[in-house]
Amino acid sequence: MEVMNCKHKMKWWKDAKFGMFIHWGLYAVLKKGEWVMYSSKIPVHKYEKLARKFNPIKFDAKQWVRIAKNAGMKYIVITAKHHEGFAMFQSKTSPYNIVDATPFNSDPLKELAEECQKEGIKLCFYYSHVIDWHHPDSLHDRANNTWDYELDKKDFYKYWNGLAKPQIKELLTEYGPIGLMWFDTAGGLSKEDSEEMVQLVRSLQPDCLINSRVSHCPGMGDYQSKGDNEIPMLGQDAREFETPMTMNQSWGYSDKDQVWKTTASLLRKLVNIVSKGGNLLLNVGPTPDGEIPGQSVERLAEIGEWLDINGEAFYGTSPCPYPYELEWGSITMKSGYLYLHVYSEYWPQANLQLYGLRNKILKAYILSDPNKASLEFIQTYDSETNHYSLSIEVPNIAPDKNIAVIALKIDGEIDVDESLTQQPSGSIRLAAFQSEIQPVEASGEKSEGSERRKTALWHFKVVNPGTFEVVIVNFKKSGAIWEEAYQNPVVISLAGKKIVGKAREDVILEDSPNCQYPYREVHSNIGELTINRPGVYALELISDMISPKPKGTEIWQAEAVKFRNIKLMRKKDI
């Protein structure tokens, strides 16, 4: 019964797939992002004065909601109180709020609540429940205001019972039905206190969802918040997930940060996340005047245009049926349909190929084509290798500058070969979490020093043999030290041959469909291996960087260097 209820209340969020995150607070006045109070150690008495300068006369709830709705977003999560401790709503608990402390003298969350209600958008609140640099008694395990307050004089429960809980109560009783409470940075909060917060929300609004960051203990909340800007591998997650993402590199408004992701890049990430069963919560940081920056508005409008045309392949879809990522884009599906989202730079010259689809195809067409003209296709099956192949004839020029969707009307329930298979281009991608992991001793090797050293084993099908370049792919967080992660050489064995190599930072990608700031995608060339015949092969990797798939919710901060996959890139025939 509990599970049924939970499924039922998650439905709107599962269907929504795309939401707007809004980071807005006093920090906007300083135009240096939302951590400015902490990074510049601004004393409370000085920071409080910002309130007198905060007068967002251009704030227009109608316009904000329209921007979100036109982008195809179905929910809005706004910072009711961020780490600075300032309430962006009328709070009876503390006068340090937008109505009582600023010349604006009005409650933007009330206006947003009314507008969202009218427009059918779910309003949700972000609340920094542990970090509060304004309150003398808030206590986090790392990020405290130590320039105004002494850590050992803090009485955490004065903050917890005197501010955090009463403000949550205000937010859940004064603004109508709230879609979800988005908690953040729970470092140091005990399991009992986290559970108390969960119970408080449940008691006030039983249908209100809670994200996993309510606690740093695994398993809490209704769904998993990934790390900031973190996109998981396909099938990696044990739970429903949401990726919070910036459009540039900051959450709160910053006039210095002009490193904007392109619309093409944002769309790829959006589709990529949805094809893995997740939601994207895409951030905007409004100005101190109350406007969403033009760069964000422009990108959101373009995403909305794409969704207007291709929404059928997005809303109400289920994740990709294959357990691995495709090289040319992503796949979503619905009963009777498979949607191939082909990123424009991978649009093929003549044929798009897909391996492993067993269903008969009734029709193939480009989703944006108003006539739904049929594309020619051939389906083949090789019984010797038990290999299904589909080749679709496509126009020479990609029909969309960002992502073109090919719709496949299929016969019967979806049925794909789930074994790891070489891709039509010849490359093979083996994801970290898909391997069988064992202690190194099981492979007959000696474990050299590191406790972390493990063996990962994959089995996969090769259709086109040849010589392959072996590349290890990792995500590296900004500031992480590569040499600390990869202290020992990696050992790779395949088809009776072995290569040993040091993983180095050979190629660094700043932005890929899966990876972006604060991470970079790092490729390490380890060597070459040859496979002589088609068939099923085993590849074994010994490395310090292999960690088992988490059983429950992961802690949201991703590891500094995270091993993602091994890629075998086919270089030449035998």
The residues binding ligand FHN (CB under 6 A) are: 34-35, 184-185, 228, 244, 251
Closer of 243 and 310 to ligand FHN (Cβ): 243
- Shortest spacing between CB 126 and ligand FHN, in angstroms: 7
Instruction: Give strand pairing partners of 403.
Output: 343
Task: Please say which residue, 81 or 453, places its beta carbon nearer to ligand FHN.
Answer: 81
Q: Give the count of beta carbons closer than 10 Å to the beta carbon of residue 201.
A: 23
Q: How far apart are CA 522 and CA 103, in angstroms?
A: 49
Residue 224 CA to chain centroid, in angstroms?
Answer: 10
Q: How far is CA 129 from CA 75, 193, 327, in A?
A: 21, 11, 41
Closest CB to ligand FHN among residues 35, 149: 35
Rounded to whole angstroms, how far apart are CA atoms 134 and 213? 21
Cβ distance to ligand FHN smaller for residue 252 or 304: 252
Is 22 or 416 the residue whose CB approaches ligand FHN more closely? 22
**Cα–Cα–Cα angle for 230, 305, 280, nearest 5°?**
20
Residues 488 and 453: beta-carbon distance below 8 Å:
yes
Q: Of 482, 488, 494, 423, whose CA–CA distance to 456 is shortest?
A: 494
Q: How far is the CB of 264 from ligand FHN (least distance, A)?
A: 23
CB of 225 to ligand FHN, least distance (A): 7
Q: What's the burial of 554, exposed, middle or buried (CB within 10 Å: 0-12/13-18/19+)?
A: buried
The CB-of-251 to ligand FHN minimum distance in angstroms stands at 4
The DSSP bridge pattern shows strands 561-572 and 497-501 to be unpaired
What is the DSSP annotation of 170-201? HHHHSSS--SEEEE---TT--HHHHHHHHHHH
Least Å from the CB of residue 21 to ligand FHN: 7
Question: For residues 208 and 125, is the Cβ–Cβ distance under 8 A?
Answer: no
Cβ nearer to ligand FHN, comparing 261 with 453: 261
Residue nearest to ligand FHN (CB): 244
Least distance in angstroms from the C-beta of 492 to ligand FHN: 35
Helix (H, G, I), strand (E, B) or coil at 13: helix
CB of 568 to ligand FHN, least distance (A): 35
Sequence-distant (6+) residues with CB within 8 A of 11 are none
Q: Do the beta carbons of residue 356 and residue 379 sit within 8 Å?
A: no
Choice between 34 and 325, CB closer to ligand FHN: 34
78 vs 361 by CB, closer to ligand FHN: 78
Cβ 350 to ligand FHN shortest distance, Å: 43
What backbone phi and psi angles, to 5 degrees, belong to 303? Answer: -65, -40
In the chain, the N- to C-terminal Cα span, in Å, equals 58
Indicate the residue among 94 and 225 with the shorter CB distance to ligand FHN: 225
C-beta closer to ligand FHN: residue 170 or 228 = 228
CA within 13 Å, CB half, 431: 18
Longest Cα–Cα distance of the chain, Å, equals 77
Q: How far is the CB of 34 from ligand FHN (least distance, A)?
A: 5
Least Cβ distance, residue 487 to ligand FHN (angstroms): 28
